A = this chain, B = another copy of it.
């Protein structure tokens, strides 16, 4: 039995339960999915500021739930990925990272559609850091805030569809990547409708997590991913001392 912990970095429990549904829908029979969100932090992640405040909560969840075989950070910005990889040897996946690697194994020239324009530079930095920016045809946004994606599903679907059409008309993109956990519901539908692979990161990350657990592949504990050095932490972070 594999146990995978999916962490929604947003504190929105509605979003967490939606993520849980998606993760469970693709999990194998012998995989137990446990979806949670930090007990403190921002309600949604929309830019560099929110990113900074969701990481301690993510780390807190990993520390409080050490028994899992793999962890997934269900935010397309892959927030806190490096830090989390130092506190557990279990594999940790970001849904952005997982999506980009999957896209490259399905052809290559992919386009990302995310929520807000302000998040695009952060995604671009990640893509450059992973080495995959050259294979990215376009980065665009539907301009709907994260928490509104699920409150008006019709609008979300309509905007994603408009953007897909616009990108198909103006580029030779071969694959789409939906750049927010909140868009996951529309991947299969869009894939069928437009006859083009549409990747959604939660489901890909769950399958990659199962794969690495089965293969006994864990994060490197060398060098930058070695356990944090022991030292004093003070104030609200006192408990995070290692």
* Interface residues of A, Cβ cutoff 8 Å to B: 11, 26, 28, 38-44, 46-53, 55-57, 59, 80, 82-83, 85-87, 91, 93, 97-98, 101-102, 104-109, 117-122, 125, 128-135, 145, 147, 172-175, 188, 191, 195-197, 199, 203-204, 207-208, 210-212, 214-226, 228-229, 231-238, 240, 242
Contacts and interface: CB of A to CB of B under 8 A. Distances in A.
A127 to B, nearest CB: 9
Nearest to A127: B131
A204 B211 contact: yes
A14 to B, nearest CB: 13
Given A109-B223, A196-B221, 18 more contacts: A11-B232, A40-B233, A40-B235, A41-B234, A43-B231, A47-B226, A48-B225, A49-B59, A49-B86, A49-B228, A52-B83, A53-B240, A85-B107, A104-B130, A107-B220, A188-B216, A197-B220, A199-B217
B118 A93 contact: no
Contact of A106 (B26, B218, B228): B218
A59 B52 CA distance: 9
A131 B135 contact: yes
A222 B40 contact: no
Contacts of A57: 235
The 3 closest A-B CB pairs, nearest first, are A40-B235, A207-B211, A107-B220
Contact of A44 (B87, B105, B218, B231): B231
Contact of A219 (B46, B107, B118): B107
A224 B118 contact: yes
Contacts of A91: 105-106
B233 A217 contact: no
A238 B57 CA distance: 13
B108 A101 contact: no
Contacts of A235: 38-41, 57
Contacts of A231: 42-44, 46, 50, 147
A220 to B, nearest CB: 4
A107 to B, nearest CB: 4
Contacts of A188: 216
B121 A109 contact: yes
Nearest to A121: B224
Contacts of A212: 102, 105-106, 207
